[in-house]
């Protein structure tokens, strides 16, 4: 079996030389343990540092390494898509892993064994996240819990570390949406699945490319891409605010008739809190979905090489 390991990279000059060495060692071990041949495909997602120079030098030195340079930064999900789209026809299976290798690359060996036994998709599941900071670990776990409430098929503690056979990757390429959340899309394919568990390791160099702002944005994309639950939330929020308003009305009327309020204060208070809260919440959530529709209908290319 031939395997292509797709590695999306964005400003990874500090960690990339180490990652390349580790992955080259992995390809040798794959050949020895399972008899599989593996190649490396590094996707430069519009980096502004020396990431592409490092990839180009490694590709010139090793036949098993190739690089894909995107013309502009299009985000992790699109970069991952580009790597799979450009390679899946030339191999039996593709596996995606982040450049920092915090996801244990040795788990790829177990993934290959599951594919040999008939699995089309093998998910890498993080067993523990002890190397993450408290905030990173807590926020990530909260994200997975929320996602499980809106999409029961979501795998807990699975990121984008997975192996797919050629037919599974081909099926994935049939999805036309631009607002991509691959963790959710891949689970909808319906092919035979398997899971490999591993411990997440610490980053050896460089900084995380998912600060708080990006984490929140990614979470919103994930939730709104696979569920209309936020739209339903508007209804429940409206009902809840109505109940609060009724209590406020009763309290305000009691204060009014007891002569403890300024004339006009009651109606103004109730109206502002009730209408303002419901409308703002509704417009905000609906706006997210309208924005996604706007992105989809334009049908712009996902990336340029």
Q: 67 falls in which pLDDT band (50, 70, 90)?
A: very high
CA distance to 38, 112, 189, 242, per residue, from 30 (Å):
7, 9, 27, 62
Confidence (pLDDT) at 55: 97
Predicted confidence (pLDDT) at residue 299 exceeds the cutoff of 90: no
Predicted confidence (pLDDT) at residue 76 exceeds the cutoff of 80: yes
Q: 178 falls in which pLDDT band (50, 70, 90)?
A: confident
- DSSP-assigned beta bridge partners for residue 41: 6, 66
Helix (H, G, I), strand (E, B) or coil at 248: helix
Predicted confidence (pLDDT) at residue 120 exceeds the cutoff of 80: yes
Cα Rg of the chain (Å, integer): 24
**What's the rounded mean pLDDT across residues 205-221?**
59
Confidence (pLDDT) at 29: 93
**What's the rounded mean pLDDT across residues 212-226?**
61
Predicted confidence (pLDDT) at residue 212 exceeds the cutoff of 70: no
**What's the rounded mean pLDDT across residues 203-213?**
58
The closest alpha carbon to 140, from 127, 164, 156, belongs to 156
Predicted confidence (pLDDT) at residue 195 exceeds the cutoff of 70: yes
Which stretch of 80-94, 213-227, 278-292 has the lowest confidence by average pLDDT?
213-227
For the chain, percent of residues with pLDDT exceeding 90: 46
Confidence (pLDDT) at 134: 62
Q: In angstroms, rounded to a whole number, what is the distance separating the alpha carbons of residues 191 and 201?
A: 29
Of 140 and 268, more confident? 268
Confidence (pLDDT) at 278: 72
Confidence (pLDDT) at 293: 79
Predicted confidence (pLDDT) at residue 267 exceeds the cutoff of 70: no
Confidence (pLDDT) at 107: 94
Task: State the average pLDDT for the chain.
Answer: 82
Confidence (pLDDT) at 61: 94
CA distance to 243, 245, 248, 261, per residue, from 266 (Å):
16, 11, 9, 8
For the stretch 147-170, what's the b/e string if a residue is b when 16 or more beta carbons lie within 10 angstroms of its beta carbon? beebbeebbebbbbbbbbbbebbe
- DSSP-assigned beta bridge partners for residue 165: 93
The closest alpha carbon to 200, from 257, 148, 161, belongs to 161
**Structural tokens at position 187:** 């689970």
**What's the rounded mean pLDDT across residues 133-158?**
67
Confidence (pLDDT) at 129: 61
Predicted confidence (pLDDT) at residue 101 exceeds the cutoff of 80: yes
């Amino acid at each position: 079996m031939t395997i292509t390991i797709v590695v999306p990279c964005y400003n990874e000059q500090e960690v990339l030389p180490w990652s390349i060495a580790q992955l080259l060692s992995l390809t040798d071990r794959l050949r020895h343990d399972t008899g599989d041949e593996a190649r490396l495909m590094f996707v430069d997602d519009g980096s502004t540092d020396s990431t592409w120079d490092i990839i180009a030098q490694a590709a010139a030195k090793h036949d098993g390494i190739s690089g894909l340079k995107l013309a502009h930064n299009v985000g992790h999900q699109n970069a991952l898509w580009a790597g799979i789209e450009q390679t899946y026809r030339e191999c039996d299976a593709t596996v995606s892993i982040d450049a920092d290798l915090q996801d244990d690359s040795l788990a790829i060996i177990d993934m290959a064994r599951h594919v040999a036994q008939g699995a089309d998709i093998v998910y890498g599941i993080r067993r523990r996240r002890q190397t993450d900071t408290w905030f990173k670990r807590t926020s990530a776990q909260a994200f997975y819990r929320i996602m499980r409430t809106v999409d029961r098929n979501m795998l807990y503690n699975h990121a984008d570390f997975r192996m797919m056979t050629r037919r599974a990757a081909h099926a994935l390429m049939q999805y036309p949406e631009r607002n991509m959340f691959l963790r959710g899309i891949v689970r909808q394919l319906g092919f035979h699945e398997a899971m490999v568990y591993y411990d997440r390791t610490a980053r050896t160099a460089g900084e995380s490319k998912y600060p708080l702002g990006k984490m929140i944005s990614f979470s919103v994309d994930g939730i709104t891409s696979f569920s209309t639950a936020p739209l339903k939330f508007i209804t429940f929020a409206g009902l809840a605010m109505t109940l609060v308003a009724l209590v406020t009305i009763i309290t305000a009327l009691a204060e009014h008739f007891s002569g403890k309020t300024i004339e006009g204060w009651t109606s103004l208070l109730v109206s502002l809190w009730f209408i303002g809260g419901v409308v703002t919440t509704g417009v905000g959530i609906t706006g997210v979905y309208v924005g996604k529709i706007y992105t989809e209908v334009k049908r712009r290319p996902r990336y340029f090489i």
